[in-house]
Structure 1
Amino acid sequence: MRPLRLMFEGFGSYREVTDVHLSDVDFFVLTGPTGAGKSTVIDALCFALYGTVPRWGKKDAIRNALAPSVNEGRVCLVFEAAGGRYAAVRLLRRSAQGTVQTKEARLDRLDDAVAPDAELTTILEAVAESVAEGDKVTGAVGELLGIGYEQFTQCVVLPQGRFAEFLHAKPGDRQDLLIQLLAYAVYENAGQRARERAKVATGKLEMAQKRLGELGTVTDDVVAAASRKVRELADLESTVEEAVDRMAELRTKWTEANTVALRVRDQDRALGELRQPGDVVDLAARLTLADEEIARRAEERVAAEKVEAEAEATRTGLPDPAALQRWRAAHTRSATLTGRLERLETDATAAESAEDTAAAGFAAAERALADAETTSAEADRAHRAVALAADLAEGEPCPVCRQQVTDLPHHEVPADVDTARDAVRTAKAQVSARRRAHAEASKATASARAELTAAHRQAQDLAAELRDAPPPAEVDEALTRREAADAALERARAAVRSARRAEEDATRRRTALVEEERAAWSALRASRDQFVALGVPPVEGTDLAAGWQGLLDWARTQRAELSGRVTELERAEDELRTEGSAVRSALTETLDAHGIVLPRDGKPDVLLAAHQAEARRDLDDLVARRSRSAALAEEVERFREEEQVARMLGNLLKSNGFEAWLCAEALDSLVTEASEILLQLSGGQYELVRAERNELVVLDHNDAGTRRPVNTLSGGETFQASLALALALSHQVVGLSGGKRDLNSMFLDEGFGTLDEATLDTVAATLERLAQETDRMVGIVTHVPALAERVPVQFAVTRDGASSRLRRVEV
């Protein structure tokens, strides 16, 4: 893995966009004061790949990823790995509750035709393939690089506080790291697959042995016996065919004899069942009676029709009943109207008299009102002041002096004035009452006169309608005669209908007897026709009973002749049946001798063919079983050999064997190179050695080569030993993994300030040589100026109150 471009914004202490170009860098340093944000750059690289940072403690912790008071941040790393260019992008967001979450993560394979120093947006848009998204990105990165987060933070990124983990690791943990880092798991996988193949081969071996046991042993004698059986059954074919042909011939003859015998028996039975219908004898008598009844019913119909004609003639001379009914109704209305006219004349006279009385009363009331008003006027003139005061009102002008009235004068009203005025009011009320009474009387008179006029008009209309009508008594008499004539005609017509129905019923009964006679003749001919083959004589004459008697006499004679023939035919049937049974019995014995059981209704040729086919199948099966048995025996040997080889390989490649040996060899190689580096760094004092249980110890040459555990080293000595191991591991990872791991980057974030000047110079020279002699990127984090000055590319990190900033400085 080699970084080309690292961009982050809102990450850690970096609030602003920070874009780090590394495509042209092999050896660089991040320098600046303590707390400026140097380690955060390496954190961003690690976070882009694995979604977390070692310095944050827990493996999945991301709460420290966002810069303070920043709600959103992003990290993007463009890098080369496994022969391709990739981009790992992660987007962070702070929720309303203050929780930091990864809202977006993706890993894309990019088109490497775009220059690495182009605009970052252009690089990221050139996506050739989407590799993973979301939670799957971390796993996809581990699969792409060949190492997980734990191995990455021990071999590629060496963060503060974890620089000596590989040095102090337990032998088992160190072996697990080497297995993962150097791709030695392939041998464990190979061993596991070998052991699985051994299990599969064992299962196949057991199955083949089981099948071989179930198949059994097929000898040549068994095959020869099966072959003889096939030949013997083939030799039976001619014998079975002859017997089958003979049985078929006998069956044909028996069928013919049986057919004739059945026909003769059926004829004999039919002759015996021949019977004359019971109603044939009296059919002629019933026909004669039917003819007599038809004649009688015809005479009754003619007589009824004559009575009907006479009643029709009687009614024809009478007046129309509708006109008679109209005249009767008109006479009734005329009598009623005459009485009504008399009553209306009386009512009109009384109404006129009442109107005259009301008119006289109305005139007298008007005269009394005029007299009362005259008397009242005279009283007013006699007492005008009282009258004038009655019309005065406060605030209004006086009609006499035109002065405004302030106080109303009070005059006692004389008694005669009040009396006169009361008389006027009484007279006016009488006039109104008399006027209403006169109006009502006039209205009643007009109504009575109108009703009387209408009644006179109706009387005139009835008189015109009855101008040509006979008197009422004659009308009633004529209606009575017409009703009697109508009733007589209806009775005559009913009698005619009844006579006609009786005649029709008699005719239908005569027709039914004719049909019955025709059916009887048809039955006679049908009974005779079924014996045409026996020479039955034809039916002649018109006497139905004689025809039936002739047929019955012939049938009795014919049955006597058929009895002897039936006996002869049945004897021939029995002889053919016996011969056929003998042929079948002989064939049954022949088949039984060859183990073939012939069922009662079985077909010998079909049964023989089935046994022949079965015998041939048995023979083919035995031959095939003999061949499969030999093949299974070969399979058993092959599976046994495969199982033994796979089991042996699986045992050799177990993790406590081959892998342990590989790891020991790799650790020896690492320790050898690390010792050379440590000798240089320690001025020849210390050398690393692998103990018997893969534990690491140091040889102290200043103490006569004393072996010391690595945990007894001081802080600076531990840093030297850890750096030596890290440099050796980074240098040898490609060779030791057989080319499966190409971790051509290394980032060191540790306290170089603990080193003395000579050791620091040695460390700087070693790192320079590592970057120059190998295609490897080396990045270090330090605030030691003496070390930073020797690095060709520097990234100066500063921090103000708001954000950290990074600036590239060329030396």
Structure 2
Amino acid sequence: MRPLRLMFEGFGSYRDHTDVNLSDVDFFVLTGPTGAGKSTVIDALCFALYGTVPRWGKKDAIRNALAPSVNEGKVCLVFEAAGGRYAAVRLLRRSAQGAVQTKEARLDRLDASVPPDADLTKILEAVAESLAEGDKVTGAVAELLGIGYEQFTQCVVLPQGRFAEFLQAKPGDRQDLLIQLLAFAVYEDVGQRARARASAASGKLEMAQKRLTELGTVTDDVVAAASRKVRELADLVPTVDEAVEEMAGLRARWTEANAAAAAAREQLTGLASLRRPGDVVDLATRLTLADEAVGRRADERAVAEKEEADAEAARAGLPELTVLQGWRTAHTRAAALADRLDRLRATAANAEAAEETARAESAAAERELADAETARADADRAHRAVALAADLAEGEPCPVCRQQVHDLPQHDVPADLDTAMNAVRAAKSRVTAQGRAYTDAGKAAAEARAEVASAERQAADLAAELRDAPPPAEVDAALASREAADAALDRARARTRAARKDEEDAARKRTALGEEEQRAWSALRASRDRFVALGAPPVDGTDLAAAWQSFLDWAKDQHTELSGRAAELELAENELRTQGGTARAALTDLLDRHGIALARDAKPDVVLASHLAGAERDLADLRARREQSAALAEEVERCREEEQVAKYLGNLLKSNGFEAWLCAEALDSLVTEASEILMQLSGGQYELVRAARNELVVLDHNDAGTQRPVNTLSGGETFQASLALALALSHQVVDLSGGRRDLNSMFLDEGFGTLDEATLDTVAATLERLAQETDRVVGIVTHVPALAERVPVQFAVTRDGASSRLQRVEV
């Protein structure tokens, strides 16, 4: 894995967008004060790939991923691996409850034609294939790089405080790491496949042996016997075919004889069954009577039609029935209307007289009301004067004329005012009652006059309608004559319909008898046609009974002659049947001698062909079984050999065998190179050695070559040994994995402050050589200026109050 571009924002202490271009860098250093954010750059690279960071503790603990006071962050790594270019992108968000979650993750394969130093957006847009999304990204990265998170943080990214993990690991854990890192698991896979193949070969061997046992042994004698049987049956075919042909000829002759005998028997039966129909004798008499009935009914129908015509002529000179009925109705209505008009006129005169009386009474009531109102007014004035005089005083002004009163007036007692008022009310009631009576009388008189006028108009209409009509008596006489003529015509028509129906019935009966006669002639001809082959005479003439008798006489004579011929035909048929049975019996015996049973209705040649085909199939099957037995024997030997080889290889490649040996050899190679590096770093004091149980120890040459466990080294010494082992692993990983792993990146975080000047110089030289000679990216994080100054590319990390910042510095 070689990083090209690393971008992050809102991640760790970096709030702002930060883009690190490593496409042209082989050896770089991150420098800056403590807490500035140097290690966060390495954390971002690791997080982009695996979604977690070693410094956070748990794998799934990402609460420290987001920068303070931001709610969203993003990390993107563009890198090369396995000959392709890829991008790993992860998006972080803070929920409303403050929890940090990875909301989006993806791994894409990119188009490598875009320059690695181009705009990052353009690089990321050149997606050739989406490889994984969400939770599947981490697994896809591990599969692509060939190592998981644990191996990545022990041999590619060496974070603070974890340099010694590979050095101080237990032998079993170190072996598991080497198996994964150096692709030694392929041998375990090969071993498992070999053991699986051995198991499969064992199953095949068992099945082949079983099939060989079931197939049995087919000898040459058995095959020869089957061949002889095929030849014998084949030699028998011409004989059987000749016999079958002879039997076919006998069968054809018997079929002809059988058909002739059957035809003769059928003709004898037909001749014996001929009978003349019983109704043929009197059919001519019934036809004559039917013809006479048709003539009679025709005459009766002609008489009825003449009577109908006479009735229609008699009615033709009379007026229409509807006109006569209309005149009679109009005369009846006119007489009734004259009586009603007299009554209406009398009623109208009475109404007009009542109207005049009511008018006079109403006028009298109005006069009485006027007199009563005048009397009430006089009484009212008298009462007011008396009341006013009662209030006058001598010497006081009069309230009416404002003159001084000298003498008080004297008045008589006035009339009763209540009586006058009651008289007015009574007069008003009479006026109202008389007015209503007068109005009602007027309405009644008007209605009577309207009815008289309506009746007079109706009378005038009827008079106009009867202007050309005869008198009532004449109308009644004419109506009686017309009704009598109509009745006579209806009776004549009914007689005509009945006569026509009788004629039609007689004609149908005559037709039916004619059809019966035709059917009788057809039956006779059909009976004669059945025996044309015997020379039956034709049936002609008009006398049906005579024709039938003539045909029956001929049939009787023919029956006697045909009886002798039928006996001769049956004799010939029986003789042919006997010959056919003898031929079949001989053929059945022949086939039986060759082991072939011939069923009663079976065809001998077909049966022989079937047995011959079966014998040929048996012979072919025996030959195939003989070949199959040989092939199965070869397969048994091949499966036995395959099982032994696969089983032996599977046992060799078990994890406690070949894998352990490979890991030991690889560890020896790593320890040899790491010892050389450690000797340089320690000034010749320490050397790494693999102990008997694959444990790592150091030889202390300053203590007479004493072996010491690696966990007894000081912090600086441990850093030197771990660095030496890590450098050797990074250098040899391609060769040790057979080219299956190419981890051409290495990132070291701190630990250099424990080295003296000479050792530091050795470390710097070693790292420079590693970057130059192996074409890999080496990145370090350090506070040591002397080391940083020797690195060609520096990234200076600073931090203000809001965010960490990174700037590339060329040395």
Q: TM-score, normalised by structure 2?
A: 0.89
Secondary structure in 2 matching 1:353: helix
Once the two structures are superposed, what CA deviation does each residue of 1:269-308 show, in whole Å capped at 9, x if it has no partner? 1111111111122223333443454455456556656665
Secondary structure in 2 matching 1:678: helix
Q: 1:496 to 1:156 in 2, by over 3 A?
A: closer
Are residues 1:241 and 2:224 paired?
Answer: no
Secondary structure in 1 matching 2:279: coil
Amino acid at match of 1:631: A
Once the two structures are superposed, what CA deviation does each residue of 1:619-648 show, in whole Å capped at 9, x if it has no partner? 333333333333333333333323322222
Percent of aligned pairs sharing the same letter? 80
Q: 1:33 to 1:351 in 2, by over 3 A?
A: same
Superposed counterparts of 1:568-607, under 5 Å: 568-607=568-607
The match for 2:256 is 256
Q: 1:440 to 1:610 in 2, by over 3 A?
A: same
The match for 1:393 is none
Q: 1:75 to 1:304 in 2, by over 3 A?
A: closer
Count of residues in correspondence between the two structures: 795
Q: 1:134 to 1:430 in 2, by over 3 A?
A: same
1:577 CA displacement: 0.6
Is the CA contact 1:376–1:424 (under 8 Å) kept in the aligned structure 2?
A: yes
Once the two structures are superposed, what CA deviation does each residue of 1:106-146 show, in whole Å capped at 9, x if it has no partner? 33344445444343333333444444333333223223322
The match for 1:537 is 537
1:171 CA displacement: 1.0
Secondary structure in 2 matching 1:361: helix
Once the two structures are superposed, what CA deviation does each residue of 1:702-755 show, in whole Å capped at 9, x if it has no partner? 333332222233333322222221122222222222233222222222433344
The match for 2:394 is none
1:601 CA displacement: 1.7
Are residues 1:676 and 2:682 paired?
Answer: no
Once the two structures are superposed, what CA deviation does each residue of 1:38-96 show, in whole Å capped at 9, x if it has no partner? 21111111112211111111123222111111111112223333334333222222222
Q: 1:673 to 1:265 in 2, by over 3 A?
A: same
Once the two structures are superposed, what CA deviation does each residue of 1:758-786 show, in whole Å capped at 9, x if it has no partner? 54454444434444554333322222344
Once the two structures are superposed, what CA deviation does each residue of 1:209-263 show, in whole Å capped at 9, x if it has no partner? 3333333333322222222222222211221121111111111111111111111
Is the CA contact 2:750–2:783 (under 8 Å) kept in the aligned structure 1?
A: no
Is the CA contact 1:2–1:79 (under 8 Å) kept in the aligned structure 2?
A: yes
Are residues 1:165 and 2:159 paired?
Answer: no
The match for 1:567 is 567
1:196 CA displacement: 2.5
Is the CA contact 1:380–1:387 (under 8 Å) kept in the aligned structure 2?
A: no
Distance 1:455 1:126 in 2: 114
Secondary structure in 1 matching 2:58: coil
1:315 CA displacement: 5.3
Once the two structures are superposed, what CA deviation does each residue of 1:334-388 show, in whole Å capped at 9, x if it has no partner? 3322321331232122122212212322343454455556666777888897999
The match for 2:805 is 805
Are residues 1:284 and 2:288 paired?
Answer: no
The match for 1:687 is 687
Secondary structure in 2 matching 1:12: coil
Amino acid at match of 1:219: T
Amino acid at match of 2:563: S
Secondary structure in 1 matching 2:508: helix
Amino acid at match of 2:280: V
The match for 1:98 is 98
1:316 CA displacement: 6.0
Amino acid at match of 1:154: Q
The match for 1:730 is 730
Amino acid at match of 2:603: K
Q: 1:185 to 1:422 in 2, by over 3 A?
A: same
Superposed counterparts of 1:329-348, under 5 Å: 329-348=329-348
The match for 1:143 is 143
Q: 1:504 to 1:109 in 2, by over 3 A?
A: closer
Q: 1:386 to 1:456 in 2, by over 3 A?
A: farther
Amino acid at match of 2:715: G
Larger deviation, residues 334-343 vs 781-790: 781-790
Once the two structures are superposed, what CA deviation does each residue of 1:8-32 show, in whole Å capped at 9, x if it has no partner? 2111111112222333433333233
The match for 2:271 is 271
The match for 1:624 is 624
Distance 2:4 2:451 in 1: 130
Q: 1:81 to 1:505 in 2, by over 3 A?
A: closer
Q: 1:517 to 1:58 in 2, by over 3 A?
A: same
Q: 1:280 to 1:401 in 2, by over 3 A?
A: farther
Distance 2:543 2:735 in 1: 135
Is the CA contact 1:380–1:417 (under 8 Å) kept in the aligned structure 2?
A: yes
Are residues 1:2 and 2:12 paired?
Answer: no
Amino acid at match of 1:239: T
Distance 2:322 2:45 in 1: 128
Amino acid at match of 2:659: E
Superposed counterparts of 1:371-386, under 5 Å: 371=371
Are residues 1:636 and 2:613 paired?
Answer: no
Q: 1:793 to 1:324 in 2, by over 3 A?
A: closer
Distance 1:679 1:612 in 2: 94
The match for 1:793 is 793
The match for 1:78 is 78
Larger deviation, residues 41-50 vs 746-755: 746-755
Amino acid at match of 1:62: I
The match for 2:193 is 193
Distance 2:73 2:319 in 1: 126
Q: 1:88 to 1:401 in 2, by over 3 A?
A: farther
Distance 2:436 2:442 in 1: 10
The match for 1:44 is 44
Q: 1:17 to 1:382 in 2, by over 3 A?
A: closer
Amino acid at match of 2:657: G
Superposed counterparts of 1:107-126, under 5 Å: 107-126=107-126
Secondary structure in 1 matching 2:722: helix
Amino acid at match of 2:647: R
Is the CA contact 2:86–2:109 (under 8 Å) kept in the aligned structure 1?
A: yes
Larger deviation, residues 699-708 vs 555-564: 699-708
The match for 2:395 is none
Is the CA contact 1:163–1:750 (under 8 Å) kept in the aligned structure 2?
A: no
Is the CA contact 1:674–1:725 (under 8 Å) kept in the aligned structure 2?
A: yes
Once the two structures are superposed, what CA deviation does each residue of 1:527-551 show, in whole Å capped at 9, x if it has no partner? 2232222223333554332332222
The match for 1:739 is 739
Amino acid at match of 1:629: S
Are residues 1:55 and 2:58 paired?
Answer: no
Superposed counterparts of 1:441-456, under 5 Å: 441-456=441-456
Superposed counterparts of 1:638-677, under 5 Å: 638-677=638-677
Once the two structures are superposed, what CA deviation does each residue of 1:442-475 show, in whole Å capped at 9, x if it has no partner? 3433332343344344445545655665654554
Distance 2:536 2:777 in 1: 131
Distance 1:133 1:693 in 2: 43
Distance 2:219 2:284 in 1: 98
Q: 1:788 to 1:432 in 2, by over 3 A?
A: same
Amino acid at match of 1:805: R
The match for 1:328 is 328
The match for 2:704 is 704
Distance 1:324 1:79 in 2: 126
Q: 1:387 to 1:435 in 2, by over 3 A?
A: farther
Amino acid at match of 1:686: Y
The match for 2:406 is none
Q: 1:744 to 1:454 in 2, by over 3 A?
A: closer
Distance 2:308 2:435 in 1: 77
Distance 1:269 1:344 in 2: 107
Q: 1:543 to 1:85 in 2, by over 3 A?
A: closer
Distance 2:693 2:645 in 1: 31
Is the CA contact 1:168–1:711 (under 8 Å) kept in the aligned structure 2?
A: yes
Is the CA contact 2:382–2:414 (under 8 Å) kept in the aligned structure 1?
A: no
Is the CA contact 2:37–2:798 (under 8 Å) kept in the aligned structure 1?
A: yes
Amino acid at match of 1:537: P
Amino acid at match of 1:67: A
Secondary structure in 2 matching 1:639: helix
Are residues 1:27 and 2:34 paired?
Answer: no
Secondary structure in 1 matching 2:280: coil
Distance 1:671 1:300 in 2: 149
Distance 2:304 2:463 in 1: 46
Q: TM-score, normalised by structure 1?
A: 0.89
